[in-house]
Structure 1
Amino acid sequence: MAHRSNRELEQVYAARSPDELAAAYAAWAAAYDRDTLAAGYCLPFQVLAWVARYIRPDAGPLLDAGCGTGLSGPYLKALGYDRIAGLDFSEEMLKVAGSRNAYDDLRRATLGEVLPWADNHFAAFFSTGVFTEGHAPASSLEELCRITRPGGAAIFTVRDTIFHSGGFGSIIEDLGARGIWRPMEQSPPFRAFALDEPDVLVSAHVFEVLA
């Protein structure tokens, strides 16, 4: 199982276009949960610690940005968060997420493009495992802030290998300088997989959205 997980993960990271990435996830959707959990993938569950730390269950709707198969959803519901939306660019992954009966709004959308929600709609967004090699661009963060209300939270992880090369450092600084958000917390790098892929490190970032 670990061998399969590594192979499928390599195909995802090897994608060179949105179409290739979508095809890789479509092929992996049915086995994604079993493969990644066998490798010790922890981000969909680790993010709940930051959500619970900064967002009250009654604060308003949350957005799981890049929700994939929706692994976070049932555990958020167990913690009392009952208004959860999810977006993903893979229709196949969204079908799995919908089967969990944890999300009240699931939409196919692509990070880096205009998102199908109004300004100031969400109390917070969280995104884990999405800002990594060959995936959503750093520019996605401004659009996610647009649909998050002032006083809300932005919670996301970034792969260490693309933090600077992918422009995340400069985007984070620019949004701060423009008064879009202010920093609340940044973690040291930690492993995204508890068992396999020891070189896959991410850092978590939390901001308060201001405008």
Structure 2
Amino acid sequence: MTAEPAPFDHEDTNTDDRPSRFKKSISGGFSVTEKVAQYDAWANKYDEDMRSYGYTGPEIAVEYMKRYFKDTNGKYLDCGAGTGPLGVHNVKSTITFFSRILDTYDGLLCCGCFVPSHLEPDCVEDWCRIVKPGGIVFIVMNQRWLSQEPAYNEGKLDGAFQKRVDEGKWELVVREQRDKYLTENVAEVFVFKVK
């Protein structure tokens, strides 16, 4: 049994409003339009802020992309691409990401999107549909949300993943933890192969 992760109480020593921007982005009660407006307002400082919090999700994701996305001519979806830090970290690779809608993809990456008030667990049903058989779906997320976020805790997110395994839609290839994902939080990494 793993220890319960510490709450995220990061406070910057800077005088600007970075902590409130981060905390606001993961708070509930906002419509999709309001959430988009929050991120639009934060976009020019987002990458800088996340680096100051010790966020290493894109670096972790690139390691897994190089390991599992073998077809460099494939079509890969960056789910929740945001400001595109994966593209920046991935410049030495020949993998191309699409943030526009195509009918099918050779793989899908979801990095840092399973956070409060963002993705619902059942979104993975669509991922099984749009990723071609044999394609890879991998998820990099803050492990704490598996126990602390009501939309994901008590097995809700794990259950959504397992349901697709049980239905024969994908298989779990790897589940690993990585230290120092966001300050001292641990990353939970899932790699699935679509059937």
TM-score calculated relative to the size of structure 1? 0.75
Q: Does 1:62 align with 2:47?
A: no
State the secondary structure of the residue aligned to 2:63.
Answer: helix
How far is the alpha carbon of 1:16 from its aligned partner? 1.7
State the secondary structure of the residue aligned to 2:84.
Answer: coil
Alpha-carbon distance between aligned partners in 2 of 1:67 and 1:135, rounded to the nearest angstrom: 13
Alpha-carbon distance between aligned partners in 2 of 1:202 and 1:192, rounded to the nearest angstrom: 5
Q: Does 1:187 align with 2:176?
A: yes
Change (3 A) 1:16 1:190: farther
Gaps of 5+ in 2: 1-10
Match of 1:16 among 15, 29, 32: 29
Q: Does 1:170 align with 2:155?
A: no
Alpha-carbon distance between aligned partners in 2 of 1:137 and 1:190, rounded to the nearest angstrom: 25
Gaps of 5+ in 1: 87-106, 108-115
Alpha-carbon distance between aligned partners in 2 of 1:59 and 1:179, rounded to the nearest angstrom: 27
Change (3 A) 1:42 1:189: closer
Decide whether the 8 Å contact of 1:190 with 1:203 is kept in 2.
no
Decide whether the 8 Å contact of 2:57 with 2:141 is kept in 1.
no
TM-score calculated relative to the size of structure 2? 0.81
State the secondary structure of the residue aligned to 1:204.
Answer: strand
2:49 alignment counterpart: 35
1:126 alignment counterpart: 109
How far is the alpha carbon of 1:11 from its aligned partner? 1.0
- Matched residue type, 2:93: L
How far is the alpha carbon of 1:57 from its aligned partner? 4.3
Cα deviations by residue, 1:93-125 (Å, 9 ceiling, x for unpaired)? xxxxxxxxxxxxxx3xxxxxxxx432xx21110
Cα deviations by residue, 1:51-87 (Å, 9 ceiling, x for unpaired)? 1111114251111100110011133242121x3102x
1:99 alignment counterpart: none
- Matched residue type, 2:78: D
1:207 alignment counterpart: 192
Alpha-carbon distance between aligned partners in 2 of 1:42 and 1:158, rounded to the nearest angstrom: 10
- Matched residue type, 2:194: V
Match of 1:85 among 93, 98, 104: 98
How far is the alpha carbon of 1:9 from its aligned partner? 0.4
Q: Percent identity, aligned pairs only? A: 22
Decide whether the 8 Å contact of 2:28 with 2:116 is kept in 1.
no
Change (3 A) 1:209 1:59: farther
1:145 alignment counterpart: 128
Change (3 A) 1:79 1:203: same
Moved more, 184-193 or 29-38: 184-193
Change (3 A) 1:16 1:159: farther
Aligned-residue CA RMSD (Å):
2.0
